[in-house]
Amino acid sequence: MGNRVAIVGIGHSKFGKRNDVSLNELAWEAIKAALDDSGLSQKDISFMSVGNFGYWSEEILPAVTVAEYAGIKCGSLRTEAACSSGSAALKIAYDHITSGSGKIAMAMGLEKMYNSPNSTIIELIGRAGNYFWEFENFGLTFPGYYALYATRYLHDFGYSEEDLCEAPVKAHHYGSKNKYAQFQKEITVEECMKSKYVARPLKIYDSSPITDGAAAVILASEDIARKINDTPVYIKGLGNATGSSYLGKRDDFTGLEAGRRAAEIAYKSAGISDPKNSFDLLEVHDCFSIAEVMAYEDLGIASKGKGLNMLKEHQTYHDGKFPVNPDGGLKAKGHPIGATGISQAVEITKQLRNEADPGRQVSINRGMALQHNIGGTGHYAYVTIYSRGD
Amino acid sequence: MGNRVAIVGIGHSKFGKRNDVSLNELAWEAIKAALDDSGLSQKDISFMSVGNFGYWSEEILPAVTVAEYAGIKCGSLRTEAACSSGSAALKIAYDHITSGSGKIAMAMGLEKMYNSPNSTIIELIGRAGNYFWEFENFGLTFPGYYALYATRYLHDFGYSEEDLCEAPVKAHHYGSKNKYAQFQKEITVEECMKSKYVARPLKIYDSSPITDGAAAVILASEDIARKINDTPVYIKGLGNATGSSYLGKRDDFTGLEAGRRAAEIAYKSAGISDPKNSFDLLEVHDCFSIAEVMAYEDLGIASKGKGLNMLKEHQTYHDGKFPVNPDGGLKAKGHPIGATGISQAVEITKQLRNEADPGRQVSINRGMALQHNIGGTGHYAYVTIYSRGD
C-alpha cells in the first residue's frame, strides 16, 4: 500500500421523492455539506468520481453537470457498478490518493429515480440482470431474482415469512430515528405480513424503495488528514469481485459468491482474521430482506443458516452484539442506486466519530466498521473496512 | 508517485459495423488479443475497468457481462466520461496499480453504436451536451457544437473549408494502411469538399463515424513489467480536467479550455517543459476536423492559429516533424466512444514498440508519446504521456 487514506468530510441529502430539486441541486446538497464538514473548498479537490446508474436521468453526463454546478474543475468521471456504483466511486477516489495522483479527492453518488415512471424503472433494473435469457425469456425482474434466494433460504433453514419480516421491522425502527431517511415510521411484523406480495415470498415491506438522493465523502492522504479533521476515519482494506449475471449458473441460492470473495479479499487486506470480533458496526446491502440475512453469512458474522436467527434475536440492533444498518439501511433510509455506497460510508464515518443521532449511535469500542455493497444480485461486490484509530 | 506502471499487453478488434458479433464477443476479440500479447491469463488480472457509454447497448451492465464472457472474476466497474470513457478506464487501472491495490490490471473499452438507429444515436449524443438549454431549446447536436468552433477558427485565422479538409485526407490516408480501421480508402480534398454538409462548415468527411469496436490494454507494476514483456511502455504522466457543458459560458471558440488544463497537469507530472520537442507521436481526439487542429494548439505543439497550417504542410504525417494519428484517428479508424481512449493507448504502445504497419510506423527517437482524449466538447479532457525507456 502507498499513502493511507482517510475520510475527512461527509455530506448527505435527504433521501426520498425529491421532485423539489434537479439532479445538480440534489448533488449540491451532499457536496456542500461535505465541503462544510471538512472546511475545504472546491479548488482543493484534485479528482471527483461520481457513482450514478442514471438510465432515467435528465442529464446523461452527470459528472460534468454536477462538477460544473458545484464549481469543481478537476478531472472527473462517472462510475457504474449497478447498485454498488457508489462503492466503485469510493475505490477510485481511494486509489487516486494512495497512488499519489493527488492529495484530496471527492467520491459522490447520486440518483434521481423518480424521473422515470415506475414501470420503466422496473424494466431498466430488470435488464440489469441477465438480459437475454432471464429477463427477456422468463420476465424476471429484481424482486423475482431475490425471491428465488428467499424461497431457497426459508426452505433450507426452516424459517417463515414472519421471520423474514424482522428485517424491515429493524430497518424502519432506525429509519424513524434518521432525519435523512425516506421512511420514518416504525412498522410491525403484522403490518409487514399484510403488505402486498411483490414476488412471493417477498412483500412490499421486504423491498427497498425507489429513491432520489445524494451523498458525498472527501478523502485525504494521511499526512494532511488530521490537519483537516480531528477524527479522520481511515480506509483500512478493500475487496471487490465480479460474479455471474446469470442466476442459472450459480451453485448456491442461500448466499452471494461474489460477496464472499470480496469479503475474503477485504479481510486479507485489512489483516482481519476474526470478523465476528472486529467491528463496532456493519453497513450491509439490504435491497431485500433476504439480502441482509445473506450478507451476515457471506461476511462471516453469522454461520450458515443462522443469519435470520441473529436478526430475530435482535443481535443486529444498535445495542446488540453485531450492530447492522443503524441508519435504516436501503430498506428504510432508501436506495438511490448510485448514492447508496457513499451513503453507507457517510453513516460509518458518522458512527465512528460518535456523531449519530441518539437511539441509533452504536457503542464504539474497537473503532472498526465494515461496508458491504452489492451490485445486481451479486454481479458486483464491494467490501470496505474502516478504522477510526489508524 | 507510487510504483510506476507499464503497458504489457495490447488488443484491438476490427472497428466498423460489427453486426457479426455481440457486445461480449466484440470485447473478447480485444481481451483475448491483449492476454495473448502479454502471455498472461484471466486469473492474473486483479481489477478490470470498462470504458463504455452504452445508452444504446443490449447489455446495461457491460463490465459484468464482458467479465463473465471473458472468464474474469476480479473486481470491475464501468467508467463513463463521454468520449473519453476509455481514458478514464485507463486512469483507474493505472491508479489501482500505483496505489498498490494490485499488480496487474486491465483497462478495456467497447461500444456497439450500430445497436441503435442513427436518429437515436444523434439524439443521445446530442443530449450529452448541455441538455436543458442548448440541446432542448436550440436543437444543437454534436456536429453543431463543433461547427461553432470551426466557424470561429476559420474566420479568426483566415482559413478555408478546403484547408480543413486536409484533416480527413490525412486520416483516410492512414486508415488505408491500418487493417483495424473502419475506412480503408484514401480521399482527396475535392471529395471532401463535395461531401454533404452535416453542420456548416463541417461536412460528412469532417466528421468521425458511428462505429462498433473494442480495445484492451493490460497494465503491470514496474517490478514485474519487464518479466512479462520485453518492451514495456510506461505511463509517465496523466492530466485530467472537467469543463463546462454549456458552450454559452465559454470564453473561447478556437480551443478547448479543459484540454489545455489537462495538458498542463500532464506536462507537469511528466516533467515536460517543451512539448514541441518531446514526442515521437501524438494521438489526438479528432472527432471532427476542427478538433484535431485545436488539439495541436491546446497541447502546445502549434502556436495559436497555426495548427491548420501545420496540417496543410504535412508536418503531422507519420514522417513529418510532429506525427499525429498515424492509425487514421477517430475520423478513419472509427470512434466507438468507450473504446477510443484505449485504442489510442494501443496505437501508442504499438508505435513505441516499433510494431506498426509499414507506411505508418513513425521514427522512434525520443521514445515518448502523448495521448489526448476529449469527452463531449471539452466537458472532460484526459491527457496521458507514455515513455518506452523509463
The DSSP code sequence of B43-60 is GG--EEEEE---TT-S-S
- From B334, B292, B341, select the one nearest B317 (Cα to Cα): B292
Of residues B316, B331, B253, B344, the one with CA closest to residue B286: B331
Mean predicted lDDT score pLDDT of chain A = 94
The span from the CA of A50 to the CA of A27, in Å, is: 10
User: Phi and psi at residue A238, in whole multiples of 5°?
Assistant: -135, 145
Among candidate residues B96, B285, B318, B335, the one labeled active-site is B335
CATH level 3 topology of B5-116+210-228: Peroxisomal Thiolase; Chain A, domain 1 (3.40.47)
The yes-or-no verdict on residue A1 having pLDDT over 50 is: no
Candidates B73, B74, B242; nearest CB to A76: B242
Helices (H) and strands (E) in chain A, counts: 13, 11
Contact (CB, 8 A) for B76 and B52 = no
Does residue A25 sit at the B interface (CB-CB below 8 Å)?
no
> In a 10 Å sphere around its CB, with 0-12 CB exposed, 13-18 middle and 19+ buried, how is residue A32 labelled?
middle
**Each residue's pLDDT tens digit, A147-204:** 999 999 999 999 999 999 999 999 999 999 999 999 999 999 999 999 999 999 999 9
Interface of A with B in 32-51 (CB under 8 A): 47-48
Q: Which of B24, B56, B95, B244 to mutate to test the interface with A (most CBs of A within 10 A)?
A: B95
Question: Whole-angstrom Cα distance, residue B342 to residue B214?
Answer: 8
pLDDT computed for residue A188 by the predictor: 98
pTM, entire model: 0.96
What are B184's three cell numbers?
480503408
B residues 50-69 lying closer than 8 A (beta carbon) to A: 55, 58-61, 63-65, 67-68
pLDDT tens by residue, B285-318? 999 999 999 999 999 999 999 999 999 999 999 9
B83 catalytic residue (yes or no): yes
H helices of B240-389, in order, are: 257-270, 289-298, 307-312, 337-352
Amino acid at A3: N
Question: What are the residue numbers of the active site of A?
Answer: 83, 335
In chain A, where the domains are located: 5-116+211-228
A80: nearest CA in chain B? B78
pLDDT at A129: 66
Identify the residue among B58, B61, B106, B124 best suited for mutation to test binding to A, counting A beta carbons within 10 A and taking the highest.
B61
The answer to whether the Cβ–Cβ distance between A61 and B242 falls below 8 Å is no
Closest-CA residue of chain A to B257:
A73
B338 and chain A: CB distance < 8 Å anywhere? no
- The count of other CB atoms within 10 Å of the CB of residue B377 is 28
Give A-chain residues touching B58 at CB under 8 angstroms. Answer: 131-132
A343 vs B252: CA distance, rounded Å: 39
Selected residues 223-262 of chain B with any CB under 8 Å from a CB in chain A: 238-246, 261-262
Strand spans (E) along chain A = 5-12, 47-51, 75-80, 104-112, 197-199, 202-203, 212-221, 233-242, 281-283, 368-375, 380-387
Q: What are the chain B neighbours of A75 within 8 Å (beta carbons)?
A: 91, 239-242, 262, 380-382
Count the neighbouring beta carbons within 10 Å of the beta carbon of residue A156.
12
Contact A245 B65 (CB under 8 A): yes
Is B330 touching A (CB cutoff 8 A)? no
Per-residue pLDDT, A137: 65
Rounded Cα gap, residues B278 and A142, in angstroms: 53
Chain B closest-CA separation from residue A105 CA (Å): 13
Please name the member of A55, A58, A91 whose beta carbon is closest to the beta carbon of B131. Answer: A58
pLDDT at A114 over 50: yes
Say if the Cβ atoms of B77 and A91 lie within 8 Å. yes
Quote the CA–CA distance of A255 and A258 in Å, as a whole number.
9
Smallest Cα distance from A73 to chain B, Å = 5
Q: In this structure, are strands A104-112 and A47-51 parallel, antiparallel, or unpaired?
A: parallel
Asked if B170 has any chain A CB less than 8 Å from its own CB, the reply is: no
Spell out which residues of chain B touch residue A115, defining contact as CB-CB under 8 Å: none
The yes-or-no answer on residue B335 being catalytic is yes
- H helix or E strand, kind and range, residue B203: strand B202-203
pLDDT of amino acid B73: 95
Q: Which residues of B touch A101 (CB under 8 A)?
A: 1, 95, 98, 238
**B61/A128 Cβ within 8 A:** yes
Write out pLDDT tens, residues A4-40.
999 999 999 999 999 999 999 999 999 999 999 999 9
Task: Answer whether B245 sits within 8 Å of A379, measured CB to CB.
Answer: no
Average pLDDT over residues A38-63: 91
B83, B165, B192, B287: which one is catalytic?
Answer: B83
pLDDT of residue B130: 67
| Sequence-distant (≥ 6) Cβ neighbours of residue A73 within 8 angstroms | A42, A43, A67, B241, B242, B243, B261
Interface test with B, best of A59, A65, A76, A77 (most B CBs within 10 A): A77
Mutate which: A60, A133, A137, vs B, most B CBs within 10 A: A60
Q: Please indicate if any CB of chain B lies within 8 Å of the CB of A384.
A: no
Helix (H) / strand (E) containing B109: strand B104-112
Residue of chain B minimizing CA distance to A3: B99
Torsion of Cα atoms, B286 then B317 then B262 then B374, to 10°: 10
Please count the other Cβ atoms lying within 10 Å of the Cβ belonging to residue A41. Answer: 10
The answer to whether residue A123 neighbours chain B at the CB level (below 8 Å) is no
Tell me what percent of the residues of chain A surpass a pLDDT of 90: 86
A382 touches chain B (CB under 8 A): yes
At residue A64 the predicted structure's pLDDT band, cuts being 50, 70 and 90, is: very high
CATH of domain A5-116+211-228: 3.40.47.10
Point out the residues of chain B with pLDDT beneath 50.
Answer: 1
Find chain B residues with C-beta within 8 A of A85's C-beta. 77
Interchain proximity B380–A1, CB inside 8 Å: no
Contacts of A99 in chain B (CB under 8 A): 1-2, 94-95, 97-99
The predicted structure's pLDDT at residue A4: 92
The minimal CB distance from A72 to the residues B47, B97, B242 is found for: B242
A263-288 pLDDT tens trace: 999 999 999 999 999 999 999 999 99
Reported as half-sphere exposure (CB side, CA atoms, 13 A), residue B218 has a value of 29
CA-based nearest residue to B283, from B344, B196, B353, B217: B344
Q: Give the cell for residue A160.
A: 417463515
Helix (H, G, I), strand (E, B) or coil at A334: coil
